[in-house]
Structure 1
Amino acid sequence: MNLLDVRKRSLGVSFNTEGQADIYVWSPIAKKVALVLPDKNKTISLAKEDMGYWHTSTTDIKPGDLYKIVLDDDLERPDPASLAQPEGVHGPSQAIDVNTFKWTDSNWNNIPLEDYILYELHTGTFTPEGTFASMEQKLDYLKELGVNAIEIMPVAQFPGSRNWGYDGVLPFATQNSYGGAEGLQHLVDACHQKGIAVILDVVYNHMGPEGNYLNDFGPYFTDKYNTPWGPALNFDDAGCDGVRKYFTENLLMWFRDFHIDAVRMDAVHAIKDFSATHILREMKMCVNELMQQTGRTHYMIVELDLNDTRFINPLEEQGFGMDAQWVDEFHHALRVTAGGDRNGYYSDFTGLQHLAKAYTDAYVYDGQYSPHRDKIFGIKAENNPGKQFIVFSQNHDQVGNRMLGERTSQLSSFEMQKLMAGAVMVSPFLPMLFMGEEYSEPNPFLYFVSHTDPELAEAVRKGRKAEFAAFHAQGEAPDPMAEDTFNESKLQWELLNQDPHQTMFRYYQTLIRLRKELPALRQLNRKQVEVVPNEEQQTLVLHRWHDNDHVVCVMNFSKTAQQVSLPSYSDSLTKVLDSAAPEWKGPAASPDQADSTSAVTVQPESIIIYTNHA
């Protein structure tokens, strides 16, 4: 039982083709474990096996039955590996058979990672209904926009129906208010029919506070380390083997049983593990085995705040083998360059020079002293390809962690929004959008929860107010528990029919199309990138090439027009996009042709993209 079989579930309740249930529970501290069926008034005893596992095979439980796990004849709890919680995190679990779904994606092949154009979204606020089914109705819209990979914020069961998803407490159960397991399977199948890959955000660094009963079963947590969210999950302390298996099984389930194409793993720098084989490396080896057996391709993407290539280096180089990572530093440098705040972690960023460094080096801090951290920070990422880095001008964190949840649309001019979008899309990295930015959605993305524990709800309210006490001049922090806070964060789809939102949508469409069509933008060769920043002008010239195809991107972050010289090579250049052109509601268009012999006039807060092969 201590060996992991990547082909099937070996935790919780699973059904074979004959309808017999296999039940496995890990509880090394229990003296007795049983499963109770309240609607059938039946108790099923489990037998103790090695390594703290309890097991039985039975036909007494059927798909659809509600059940709870009983520890030592006393404590009734939801199943830690429950696949469904129809009555929420405190209610009974529901037995379901994930293998009965009729998939139609047998011809689907995951998109090559280097071709990903990501779109991060939150199920509850992406549509008015806030469900997987309603998300399916927007897939044609996403296709029309040009994105080919949606990144769904966490869907593991959380308290109530309103949450970002990072308070999940039952990692195997798909949020009931979103549509549950079958709803997610149906969505993934529909995405694959449309040629869209699905990335699922998963949280393996902490558990939410409400409905977190794992400690009743075994040593899921350790006091060896602390995290910003409380005790650390136990990946390397006594009794950790069952915990490591629990989360590895969870990862394999999403790939195998839900056909998820990639995961985005939340804040892996908060995973504390000094084992000889780090848990991420172990997970990667298991995923490799799964891919070998199924022939399907899956990617592991991490959120990482360490600038440490060990996480993304290949297994054969003693790395953890992660396929890609978010790069917050590109975002920070871009925000400061665009005139954003310089407080908190932004204080480390100078603006233009750091943006130029991000384009060439991925990490801004790769061995320099970081004033904000008060230490030398980072390592150079010289040999890691561009496809390993995901960049963005906004995401759920950078928007939602502001007191008022303002998007770029509320913080920057229309012209600067277009420039920032262009700056992301022409990078030699993978671009990611945050839902609604493509049409300049004005609604905020606020922090919201729906805890059912009154004391916890009040603690969250007070904590949010205290966090932003220094910002009292901006007003009160919105109440995270209020339903209005959640509703204010929903996208306003009707705006797509109005300007300037319609114009911004067409602009993003054009940017994405150029990204796909121009070889110099599509090929993510970090060795074929030149950047020339001009601090005095606040301009940046980005030159990328592939074989004989060249692209020159001229960016002006200042509030006045600037004369900018182009790189000196023989070809004349043709303009393929000018964010300042009247068609994008800009002030004036630059000439259609340019070369290295004369300077180009670049309008304030704008980007021009030239190519030698138009």
Structure 2
Amino acid sequence: MNAPTPEHSGTTGHRLRMPFGCERDTEGHFCFRLWAPAVRELWLELELASGQGTETVAMESAGDGWYWYTSAVAQPGDRYCFRLPSGLCVPDPASRFQPLDVHGPSQVVDPESFAWQDSGWRGRPWHETVIYELHIGSFSPTGDFAGVEARLDALEALGITAIELMPVADFPGRWNWGYDGALLFAPDSRYGQPENLKRLVQAAHQRGLMVFLDVVYNHFGPEGNYLHCYAPEFFHPDRHTPWGAALHFDGPHSAPVREFFICNALYWLTEYRFDGLRFDAVDRILDDSKPDLLDALAARVQAGPGAERHIHLVLENDHNDARRYRRDRSGRPRQFTAQWNDDAHHALHAALTGESEGVYQDYAAAPWTQLGRALAEGFCYQGEPSAFRGGQPRGTSSADLPPQAFVNFLQNHDQIGNRAQGERLEHLIPAPAFEAALAVFLLAPAPPLLFMGQEFAASTPFVFFCDLEPDLMVQVAAGRRREFAGQAAFSDPARLHALPDPGDPQTFHATSLDWTQRESSPGQERWALHQRLLRVRAQYIRPLLPRLTQSGDWWQHSPTGLSWRWRTRDGSQLYLSTNLGSQPLRCASDHWSNQLTGTPIYQHPAKTGHDWPPYWVSCWITDADGVNRDADRSAAKSAQTDAADAGSGHRC
């Protein structure tokens, strides 16, 4: 089987040719293909949408475990499955749509039937990125793709430039975070049909918004994936992940396995025109190949859709492997664009909450110091031993990477949802502390990520939820209790057993955003703060980012006082200072931050003399001579206005 290549067809649609699944051939007929090396014969069952019944035909063997059959009668809307010698009927692992969920038949889809109207869209450069992460099912009242589309105008007005969808690959049951995907090419039918997702992406592009998708290539969900019945070579016999058997990317029969996942990435980027992908927990992808799966995938993306428009590939990687994000001489990523920077989050969280259990034990001793390093250099752990990981060294040096190689966030789905009660950060610390931290992360150079609802101070939690078959739900609930049993807060067995049940419908419904809070006084204030900060970022910081050199410098003035400096190639400098503590901070009068002249672009609350007020943030720009003569005077006026807002009662 030849490797697939993206085939574009102008405004009539976009299609990725793949060696598996249901594909229309050059004569207009649909060809069905499956890699099933564990069976000696295979049948296709085709249910005709025209009402003319079901036909069952034997598929032909193409050798090496491949089977195929071309139908002269199959049409879009028909349903089909593959029948194994045991009599079990299984869906297509490359199904483009599952109208009856993961255990039902697959549906024939013509990917070229959608009339794309964004042919002029070429994406946006990475330095313009401000990400808004959301979960389709709990973001809007309707819990579907159309519900997100209806809110795009508000998100555009907020100032974000990209939305990131938590995984949409078909999962079992009524609701799921998405990381239990069973059929990775099929958007979950609860969210809508394939054309509904395409309409969402197109509508975002029409507003100048990028759309990223979270994908999971480290495991399949525990229910609804049948590969083990006919292609056990997908799974490694000896390696395991926290979610079961590891995928087998480097064995003697791994070529179709690797192609399956590489095609999945190309599929979302080609047929749905996503602008980028976020790869979940790639440290759990175990592959000793040269090149490994990630390297091979990045090369295929760059040679394919990445050669025609801006495509951004972002990793979640606990290994802190800086090699993945190296830039070429022009500043373009050689492989991957950036990594979610858990270090920056964990350091800030430990500093502001005082929490020291679990992963936060690695940051409890010196959180402020680690926060300074994380915003300046990217990783806190660049080879140092990690107590949370049993003393094993973690990470590699990241000081030579630009800030754009890291995505920073106050919170995301993991950092909220993996808490026992799903509390947001703003529920754990005072509002002024949250808003000062927000200013720091939105004004620092690294692309920031917001989690849905934080822009209007949502009170809803984001608790872990899923809807699997009953026996699995018992195991999930028990595993959830084991996860928190070692924490002091749950030493009381009664409290431990009172944890939200992931399978209880109320657990899911409690996470749905209450958009009426957007119109409340706290909601409007928080929204206005996000808008103000993102305007400052767009007007003054964004133009500097392509010219930034490598990492920044940083200073710690006291346990809660930090300053950073980032330099551009032409001599301009971006400065950011903060006191994230509840007490005023006295800075030495001869420190550079008190002597520097330049253009203030944000300062809140007002500061007089050398004292830094509680929860104070200041950001300014200079040119090579110490003064930014090219900056608009409105920047200084804006900073003065922000300070005046503090005096008029604005919470910051």
TM-score interval for Structure 1 and Structure 2 normalised by the shorter chain: over 0.9
Relative to structure 2, which stretch is displaced further, 305-314 or 541-550?
A: 541-550
Comparing 166-175 and 437-446, the one that deviates more: 437-446
Is 2:334 the partner of 1:309?
no
Amino acid at match of 1:120: E
Matched residue count: 595
- Shift in Å, 1:545: 4.5
| SS in structure 2 of the partner of residue 171 of structure 1 | strand
Q: Per-residue CA shift, 1:447-477, capped at 9, x if unaligned?
A: 00111x1111111122212322343356621
8 Å contact from structure 1 (residues 415, 579) kept in 2: no
State the secondary structure of the residue aligned to 1:379: coil
Q: Does 1:207 align with 2:220?
A: yes
Q: What is the letter of the counterpart of residue 467 of structure 2?
A: S
Identify the residue that residue 32 of structure 2 maps to in structure 1: 23
Deviation at 1:550, TM superposition (A): 4.2
Match of 1:336 among 331, 350, 358: 350
Partner of 1:372: 388
Separation in 2 of the partners of 1:367 and 1:295? 37
Q: Do residues 184 (structure 1) and 202 (structure 2) align?
A: no
Residue 299 of structure 1 and its aligned partner are, at CA, apart by 1.9
Aligned position for 2:338: 324
Matched, 1:501 2:501: no
1:283 aligned onto 2:297: yes
User: Does structure 1 conserve the Cα–Cα contact (< 8 Å) formed by 2:376 and 2:403?
Assistant: no
- CA distance change for structure 1 residues 382 and 544 in 2, over 3 Å: closer, same or farther? closer
Distance of 1:3 and 1:542 partners within structure 2: 48
Name the structure 1 match of 2:506.
484
Paired position in structure 2 for 1:360? 376
From the superposition, tell whether residues 210 and 519 of structure 1 become closer, same or farther in structure 2 (CA, over 3 Å): closer
Select between 52-61 and 265-274 the one with higher mean Cα deviation.
Answer: 52-61
| 1:35 paired to 2:49 | no
**By how many angstroms is 1:270 displaced?**
0.3
Greater CA drift, 380-389 or 520-529: 520-529
Post-superposition offset of 1:526 = 4.7
Summarize the Cα distance change of 1:456–1:50 in structure 2 as closer, same or farther, 3 Å threshold. same
**CA distance in structure 2 between the partners assigned to 1:80 and 1:573 by the alignment:** 59
Counterpart CA distance in 2 for 1:202 and 1:327 is 18
Residue 59 (structure 1) shift: 1.8
Identity of aligned residues (%): 34
Give the aligned residue type for 1:140: D
Deviation at 1:296, TM superposition (A): 2.7
DSSP-derived class of the 1:372 partner: helix
Check conservation: 1:516, 1:522, Cα contact below 8 A: no
Distance 1:209 1:153, change over 3 A: same
Distance in structure 1 (CA, Å) of the matches to 2:484 and 2:593: 50
Check conservation: 1:227, 1:270, Cα contact below 8 A.
yes
Give 2:647's aligned residue. none
- Which of 567, 582, 592 is equivalent to 1:559? 582
Cross-structure match for 1:46: 59
- After superposition, what is the alpha-carbon deviation per residue over 1:285-312, rounded to whole angstroms, capped at 9, x for unaligned? 22122137x7233221111111112332
Following superposition, the deviation at residue 276 of structure 1 comes to: 2.0
Q: How far did 1:142 drift?
A: 0.7
Structure 2 residue identity aligned to 1:486: F
Matched, 1:4 2:23: no
Task: Tell me, in whole angstroms, the C-alpha distance in 2 between the residues paired with 1:307 and 1:91.
Answer: 40
CA gap of 1:82–1:19, structure 2 versus 1, over 3 A, is same
In structure 2, what is the Cα distance between the partners aligned to 1:253 and 1:51? Answer: 24
Q: Does 1:261 align with 2:261?
A: no
Matched ranges for 1:428-443 at <5 A = 428-443=445-460
- Choose from 599, 613, 616 the match for 1:603: 613
Give the alignment partner of residue 347 of structure 1, picking from 344, 349, 361.
361
Give the 3-state SS of the residue equivalent to 2:102 in structure 1.
coil
Report the CA distance between 1:46 and its aligned residue: 1.8
Asked whether the equivalents of residues 549 and 567 of structure 2 are also in contact (C-alpha less than 8 Å), the reply is no
Return the offset for 1:564: 3.2
Q: Distance in 2 between matches of 1:114 and 1:107?
A: 20
Alignment partner, residue 595 of structure 1: none
In structure 1, the residue matched to 2:120 is 107
- Across the aligned residues of Structure 1 and Structure 2, the Cα RMSD in angstroms comes to 2.2
Out of 338-347 and 522-531, give the one that drifted further.
522-531
In 1, are the aligned partners of 2:235 and 2:248 still within 8 Å (CA)?
yes
Shift of 1:385: 2.3
1:187-229 CA deviation, whole Å, 9 max, x = no partner?
1111110101010000000000011211112111112311010
CA distance in 1, matches of 2:64, 2:380: 45
1:54-106 deviation per Cα after TM superposition (whole angstroms, max 9, x unaligned) = 12222221110111111236221111111111111111111111111010110
Aligned: 1:572 with 2:597 = yes
Selected match of 1:96 from 101, 109, 122: 109
The structural deviation recorded for 1:521 is 7.5
Q: Could you tell me which residue of structure 1 aligns to residue 165 of structure 2?
A: 152
Q: Deviations over 1:545-575 (max 9, x none)?
A: 4446544322112211223355269753454
Aligned mates of 2:70, 2:86 — CA distance in 1: 20
Counterpart code for 1:267: A
Q: Which residue of structure 2 aligns with residue 125 of structure 1?
A: 138
* Residue of structure 2 equivalent to 1:409: 426
Q: Give the direction of change, closer, same or farther, for the CA distance of 1:579–1:400 in structure 2 (3 Å limit).
A: farther
* Secondary structure of 1:129's aligned partner: coil
Partner of residue 261, structure 2: 247
The unaligned stretches of length 5 or more in structure 1 are: 581-588, 592-597
Is 1:533 the equivalent of 2:547?
A: no
Q: What residue identity is the alignment partner of 1:142?
A: L
Paired AA for residue 376 in structure 1 = P
Native 8 Å contact 1:521 1:544 kept in 2: no
Q: Whole-Å Cα distance in 2 between the matches of residues 415 and 387 of structure 1?
A: 27
The within-5 A match list for 1:382-531 is 382-451=399-468, 453-469=469-485, 470=487, 471-472=489-490, 476-519=498-541, 522-523=544-545, 525-527=548-550, 529-531=552-554
Q: Secondary structure at the match of 1:338?
A: helix
Secondary structure of 2:526's partner? helix
What residue identity is the alignment partner of 1:542? W
- TM-score, normalised on structure 1? 0.92
Comparing 126-135 and 58-67, the one that deviates more: 58-67
Cα gap change, 1:468 to 1:569, in 2 (>3 Å): closer
Pick closer, same or farther for the CA change 1:365–1:94 going to 2, 3 Å. Answer: same
2:90 to 61, 77, 84: 77
Alignment partner of 1:86 out of 96, 99, 110: 99
Q: Which amino acid aligns with 1:365?
A: Y
Moved more, 474-483 or 408-417: 474-483
SS of the aligned residue for 2:388 comes to coil
Match of 1:198 in 2: 211
Q: Deviations over 1:82-139 (max 9, x none)?
A: 1111111111111111111010110101110121111111001111111001100110
Per-residue CA deviation, residues 340-387 of structure 1 (Å, 9 max, x unaligned), is 411111111121111111122111111223232202322112332222
